[in-house]
Amino acid sequence: MKKTLFAMAAIVGLTVTACSSDDSNSIKNDSTFELKVDDLQGDIKDGIVTLDPSKTYTLTGGLVVKSGATLVIPAGTIIKTSPTALETSLYIAVERNAKININGTAAKPVVMTSGKASPAESNWGGLIICGNAKVNTGDNGTSEVGGLSYGGTDNLDSSGNITFLKIMYTGSKFTAEKEYNGISFFGVGSGTEVSNIYAFESGDDGIEFFGGAVNPSNLVIINSYDDSLDFADGWQGTATNVYIKGITKAGVEGSNNQKNPADALPMTAGKIVNISIVKGDDKFKADEKAINYKEGGGKQTYTNLFVAADMPIALCKLSTDAGVVANLAAGNFIITNYTFGAQITTLDGPKLSGTTTAATGAGAGASLPSWADWTK
């Protein structure tokens, strides 16, 4: 996603959808917030709001979990967006000091998707989570979308948990420079548990980390129309088991800081363990290669990397800014144990070590790994 800050107009003046207690289409929770299944929107200001997994909800506007409140989404819950609402007005956001608990299972994942008859990328915004962890753009930043505050000094901060989530047809656009991701993590701490996410058909990045220290695992990112996995602004996490297919720009884009690439601290120190990168069908060009190392780059370590034979010739796209040059010279871009497809012939940039032909990537090379069978 582009690094342009803006406050989303839709988040201003949100109204809570209220209903009488005898309305069979409403659910009253441990909160002053009342919601309707067919009109899910507004501010959850306090308490715990738990959705009903037997219902299919219609997201009709922005749903914001305010500081101090918790949204619980049980296994099997389905949220579909309104097919007639403005696409950029449809999103779910979690403020700093709020929590979201997405409690899906392999048999009953939580589903967030388009409600259009013929769904496509950019049909709605996506999921935005803000936390109190360290970022190198300052301790009190404003999220790229939503205008929410994020960042701080607590890398152990928890914004709740996400497990077994299918999030599809996200990434709606204000302009070419103002777009949502599938999921955006802004300063999210390592106390937030994130595992088993399927991000499908995002109009921008599939999943992006802006600083923070969250450690996600078991990520499947399919058909993203910018970068698939993106991290920046001092992210200190480890992503384990990542399967990427359908790449428009970069499979992974990693950077330190857009405005101060050489000196911003804490320096990005992202680790990716067990990753497969597959270009996908002919409409995907992977213009920025398997890995785009840019804007200072920071420290990036890839272990057990599988790049499929359908990728373009160069393995990496490398910026030439002073931070990138210095970090490459310092050996801060490292790939250990890897298999590159026959098309990968240009290996300039990363420090390569370990075995060169036995990497399984996410688990099965170019094929979907068995741990991701739940996404089928």
244 has pLDDT over 60: yes
107-116, 135-144, 327-336: least confidently modelled range: 135-144
Could you give the angle at the alpha carbon of 227 between the alpha carbons of 246 and 374, nearest 5°?
Answer: 50
Q: Is the pTM of this model over 0.85?
A: yes
Tokens at 2, concatenated: 């582009």
> What's the pLDDT at 6?
32
The pLDDT value recorded for residue 276 is: 98
Q: Which helix (H) or strand (E) holds 333?
A: strand 333-340
Look up residue 297 and give its two tokens.
């780059």
User: How confident is the model over 124-159, as pLDDT tens digits?
Assistant: 999 999 999 999 999 999 997 888 999 999 999 999
Residue 335, beta-bridge partner list: 302, 352
**Residue whose pair of structure tokens reads 């007639």 in the numeric block:** 84
Is-cis flag, bond preceding 53, omega within 30?
no
DSSP-based three-state secondary structure for 288:
coil
Query: Residues of the chain with pLDDT > 90: what percent?
Result: 86
What pLDDT, in 10s, does the model give residues 342-351?
899 899 899 9
User: Which letter does DSSP use for residue 101 in this model?
Assistant: E
Give pLDDT tens digits for 47-95. Answer: 999 999 999 999 999 999 999 999 999 999 999 999 999 999 999 999 9
Whole-number pLDDT of residue 331: 97
Least confident piece of the model among 138-147, 213-222, 268-277: 138-147
Segment 272-296 shows an average pLDDT of 98
CA pair distance 216, 129, nearest whole angstrom:
14
pLDDT of residue 268: 98
Rounded mean pLDDT, 13-22: 34
Mean pLDDT of the chain: 92
Rounded Cα distance between 9 and 6, Å, is 9
Q: Quick check: 17 pLDDT over 60?
A: no
Query: 261 versus 30: which is more confidently predicted?
Result: 261
DSSP classification of residue 39: B
CA–CA separation, 17 and 43 (whole Å): 9
Per-residue pLDDT of 20-45, as tens digits, reads 333 444 455 788 888 899 999 999 99
pLDDT greater at residue 13 or residue 282? 282
- For residue 96, what pLDDT is reported? 98
Judge whether residue 322 has pLDDT over 60.
yes
- Least Cα distance to 18 among 1, 37, 33, 8 occurs for 33
pLDDT of residue 68: 98
Q: What is the pLDDT of residue 30?
A: 83
